[in-house]
Structure 1
Amino acid sequence: MLYLTIDQDVARLILGVSSIAVFIVSFISLRVDWKRKAEQYGQAAAVLSEMKLDYKILRGIKDEKVIIEKMQSVSKSLNNLPVKIPETHFLKLKALHKRKVALSKMVTKHPGASIFLLRIIVWLKSNYNLLKNLKD
C-alpha cells in the first residue's frame, strides 16, 4: 500500500497559501456584491422590456400629445435605471447586438445550416459591404 508522506514544512506552506487564497477570494466576493448587481440587472431588464412593450403600443397611436407625455416618462425611466452602460462599452455592445440580429435572421432563413458557417457569412457580408461603401 502506498502512503503519501508530506513534509511538515510543505504542509504548513500549502495551508498558508490556501488560506491566503480563500481570504482573497472571499474579500473580492464581498467587495463585488454579485447578488446586488444581479438584482440591479434584473430590474433594468424588467424596465427596458416594459418600455419596449410601450413602444409597440405607441406606434399605433396618432395623438402627438400622448406620445410626447409617454416619451418624457420613458426618458425619466431611462435616467433612473439602476445600471448604466459605460460609454466605453456602448459601441462594442451595440455591434454585438447587431451581429446577433443578423445571425438570427440567417438562422431563420437557413435553419439547418452550421452556426459557425453562418457567423463567417455574416462577418464576410458586413466587411464586404463596408469596403464597398468606402469606395463610394
Structure 2
Amino acid sequence: MPTKNPACPCGSGHAYAACCGRWHGGASHLRAPDAQALMRSRYSAFVLDLTNYLRDTWHPSTRPTDIEPSPPGLKWLGLTVKRHEIQDATHATVEFVARSRWQGKGERLHETSRFVLEDGRWFYVDGDIHDR
C-alpha cells in the first residue's frame, strides 16, 4: 500500500507535501522563502523529473533553452547541504553534495550554487563544481 505522506526527496525529514511539494505545486503565492529552500526544491525536482519547475526557477540570464529529463535508470540517492550563506539582501550561495547512481556507477555532484532574489522570488543563477 502506498505511503500517504511520502518523505521529501530533499532529505529534510518532512513529508513531501509539507516540504518541496508546496513549491512544486505552482501556486504563485507559495515561493521558496530562501536560497536553501529553493536549492532543496530543485534537487527534489531533479529526482521527480519536474523539468518545468527547474526551468521556472532558473534565472533567465543563465537558463538553458531546454532542460532534458534525467536519463533512464538514473537514481538519486541523497542530498547533503554543507552550507547556506547570505551575501546581502538579494544574493546567497548554497554548497551541497547530491549523490546518484547511473549504469552501476556512483556519482557525487559537489557544487556551490549562486542564487538571486528578484521581485520577491529566488532564482538559481549558476554554480561552481568542486573537484573530488
Q: Give your verdict on TM over 0.5.
A: no
Q: Under a length normalisation based on structure 2, what TM-score does the superposition of the two structures give?
A: 0.24
Q: Which has the higher helix share?
A: 1
TM-score by length of 1: 0.23
Q: Which has the higher strand share?
A: 2
Larger Rg: 1
